[in-house]
Amino acid sequence: MPRTVPLRELAHGRAGDKGNRSNISVIARRRADWETLVAQVTVEAVARSLAHRRPSRVTRHLLPALAAMNFVIDDVLDGGVNDALNLDAHGKSLAFLVLDLPIRLTDTP
Amino acid sequence: MAKQSLLVGCGAGFSGDRVDAPGPVVRTLAARGGPACLMLETLAERTLALAQLRRLESLEAGYEPLLARLLAPVLGTCLERGIRVVTNAGAANPAAAARRVRELARELGLRPPRIAVVSGDDVSGPAHAPFLAAAFGGERRPVSANAYLGAEAIAKAWDAGADVIVTGRVADPSLAVGPAMAHHGWSETDWDRLGRATMAGHLLECGAQVSGGYFADPGFKDVPGLAEVGFPVARIDAQGACVVGKADATGGCVTEATVKEQLLYEVHDPAAYLTPDVTADITQASVAAAGPDLVALEGVRGHERPRKLKVSAFFEGGWFAEGEISYAGPGAEARARLAADILAKRLPHLRLRADLIGVTSLFGDDAGRLLAATPAGDARDVRLRVAAAHADLEGARRLGEEVTALYTCGPAGGGGVRTAMRPRLTTASCYLPREAVPARFDWAD
């Protein structure tokens, strides 16, 4: 029976900022889940979760040796730490927006 | 025969970090013995512009205000045990920072340290004015403009026997690369070793972020003793490879997971992490547990360094204002939303950002699209927060006045008004040819 879990159950990660660009890592907790993450934590999925911030580009870099991926998300920080009006001008909280993505599990744990 | 590994401990990862962090790091370096240095990284992007503004007010200001408090508990041990101190706490005024370190040594009754001051990063003077005018337009004069220097001047100061090396803007990892380069005798084109040491410096540069800070997520990622989190200590060998751990008798943890998160922190293309020293490549990197709270980083490579140096410039950007007021109990969210509508009507000259703390306040965008798409609910403890930028002080001040007036003129039961204003700095970057930014070190006067 397929079930859906938040990405946070399968992965961890953190957000960093440089200028108006955010990067968010997504790192598999268990190597066995790596293929599931590659298949479902896509550029499109991340772009959708940040759609209200109108990313101009989302790039995904895969690092299989670390069972990790790095998303580089352009123009989502309202100008960056010096310009944004956000309480969280660095976008540090954004990792948890991505970690809330729903992931479909096909086999029972 | 390869030289003994160098131990690099990091005692501060940003301006405002814990002043009690360096103590356990230095005790650990002393207990391990062997060649060692203490790295204090205290310069975020905008820290330097703020420091420049302070320097304009006083010739002896413009360096890290916490410098003496960070160093006082450890300088004696460092000098006695030959643990060198490398720090970018010089910010906009490394020479004044060096004078403060000398004075501190005198106050503590220590021998006078040999202090090297690295300079060349400040490109706000007339010599570079044509470059900056070409990049930013001639009509705007920056408050500060600094190039990111690399490890070379630090390495030269280390070779010359400095006890303390004070810099302004250098690339953060270079604070570790300089000592490693000098200690191991690498050339400035030894790309693989420089690449590895750069990633070691990258793991260290944010202090506790590699050893359990910025990591805990209860129930998912638990960190023991986070209130006493230990700062990192890395062993960098003759090949540049590192094993990262943390100060003895502290909380926190160094695991494969903490190291992976910090390895990718603020990295864009993992094949090309650019610093003034090298283009580091972590596409083949891996991490492996090497003992309790010890993780080895392997497989990092390096390629030729960029030909140009990045310059960050800051400009005066008017004023930033914000205000908050809270509502609780039945109808709290509706009352907070009404207050936001009132402010928008009263402040048509401002592009207001509104947040409902307790409903949605962080994930949203400045244009308010997420908030607009969030259906009105019945949250019972909501803090309205509004923020805006404005070119002049009077225009910005209106925001705080209107939030305060909500006490008597706004919805029922509003309490806890806070307002704040501060000058804004905006930033822009450009690139300068390396030759136009000669870095050097001098002994402190």
Of B150, B68, B154, whose CA–CA distance to B117 is shortest? B154
Tally of CB atoms within 10 A around B408: 7
Rounded to 10 degrees, what is the CA torsion of A90, A92, A97, A99?
150
Note the pLDDT tens digit of each residue in B100-153: 999 999 999 999 999 999 999 999 999 999 999 999 987 778 989 999 999 999
Q: Do B261 and A13 touch (CB under 8 A)?
A: yes
The pair of three-digit structure tokens given for residue A53, joined into one six-digit string: 């911030």
Rounded to 10 degrees, what is the CA torsion of B62, B65, B67, B73?
160
User: Which of B362, B374, B383, B399 is the best substitution to test chain A (most A C-beta atoms within 10 A)?
Assistant: B362
Asked if B14 reaches chain A (Cβ–Cβ under 8 Å), the answer is no
CB B53 within 8 A of CB B249: no
Strands, E, within B48-151: which ranges?
A: 83-87, 115-119, 144-147
Q: Do A68 and B260 touch (CB under 8 A)?
A: yes
Say what the pLDDT of residue B225 is: 98
Contacts of B220 (CB under 8 A, 6+ apart): A8, A9, A12
CB B31 within 8 A of CB B59: no
Task: Decide if the complex's ipTM is over 0.90.
Answer: yes
Say what the pLDDT of residue B2 is: 66
Asked if A60 reaches chain B (Cβ–Cβ under 8 Å), the answer is no
Q: Do B261 and A54 touch (CB under 8 A)?
A: no
Q: Which residues of B touch A88 (CB under 8 A)?
A: 362
Say what the pTM is: 0.96
Reduced to 3 states, what is the DSSP secondary structure of residue B78?
A: helix
The pLDDT > 90 percentage for chain A reads: 89
Say what the pLDDT of residue B1 is: 52
| DSSP string of B343-394, one letter each residue | HHHH-TTS--EEEEETTB-SSS-TT-HHHHTS-----SEEEEEEEEEESSHH
Asked if A20 reaches chain B (Cβ–Cβ under 8 Å), the answer is no
Say what the pLDDT of residue B305 is: 98
CB B211 within 8 A of CB B292: no
Q: Is A43 exposed, middle or buried (0-12, 13-18, 19+ CB in 10 A)?
A: middle
Asked if B285 reaches chain A (Cβ–Cβ under 8 Å), the answer is yes
Tell me the domain boundaries of chain B: 6-306, 313-428
The pair of three-digit structure tokens given for residue B431, joined into one six-digit string: 């690139």
Report the side by side order of strands in the sheet with B6-12.
B286-291, B294-298, B242-246, B232-236, B6-12, B36-40, B83-87, B164-166, B115-119, B440-443
Reduced to 3 states, what is the DSSP secondary structure of residue B108?
A: coil
The shortest C-alpha distance from B444 to chain A (Å) reads 33
> From first to last of its 445 residues, what are the pLDDT tens digits of chain B?
568 999 999 999 999 999 999 999 999 999 999 999 999 999 988 788 889 889 888 989 999 999 999 999 999 999 999 999 999 999 999 999 999 999 999 999 999 999 999 999 999 999 999 999 999 987 778 989 999 999 999 999 999 999 999 999 999 999 999 999 999 999 999 999 999 999 999 999 999 999 999 999 999 999 999 999 999 999 999 999 999 999 999 999 999 999 999 999 999 999 999 999 999 999 999 999 999 999 999 999 999 999 999 999 999 999 999 999 999 999 999 999 999 999 999 999 999 999 999 999 999 999 999 999 999 999 999 999 999 999 999 999 999 999 999 999 999 999 999 999 999 988 899 999 999 999 999 999 7
Question: Tokens 């891996």 sit at which residue?
Answer: B286
State which CATH number among 3.40.50, 3.30.70, 1.10.3470, 1.25.40 fits the domain covering A3-100: 3.30.70
The shortest C-alpha distance from B280 to chain A (Å) reads 15
Q: Do B261 and A23 touch (CB under 8 A)?
A: no
Q: Which of residues 306-365 of B touch A (CB under 8 A)?
A: 314, 317, 320, 322, 353, 355, 361-365
Q: Which residue has the higher pLDDT, A106 or B179?
A: B179
A106: confidence class by pLDDT, cuts 50, 70, 90:
confident
Spatial distance between the Cα atoms of B405 and B385, rounded to a whole number of angstroms: 14
Strands, E, within B232-365: which ranges?
A: 232-236, 242-246, 273-274, 279-281, 286-291, 294-298, 301-303, 308-328, 353-357
A108: confidence class by pLDDT, cuts 50, 70, 90:
low
Spatial distance between the Cα atoms of B152 and B316, rounded to a whole number of angstroms: 32
CB pairs under 8 A between A and B: 117
Spatial distance between the Cα atoms of B298 and B390, rounded to a whole number of angstroms: 49
Q: Which residues of A touch B45 (CB under 8 A)?
A: 81-82
Spatial distance between the Cα atoms of A16 and B172, rounded to a whole number of angstroms: 15
Domain B313-428 adopts which CATH fold? Alpha-Beta Plaits (3.30.70)
Mean pLDDT over A47-68 rounds to 97
Q: Do A52 and B426 touch (CB under 8 A)?
A: no
Say what the pLDDT of residue A107 is: 66
Spatial distance between the Cα atoms of B35 and A109, rounded to a whole number of angstroms: 49
Say what the pLDDT of residue B104 is: 98
Spatial distance between the Cα atoms of B298 and A13, rounded to a whole number of angstroms: 20
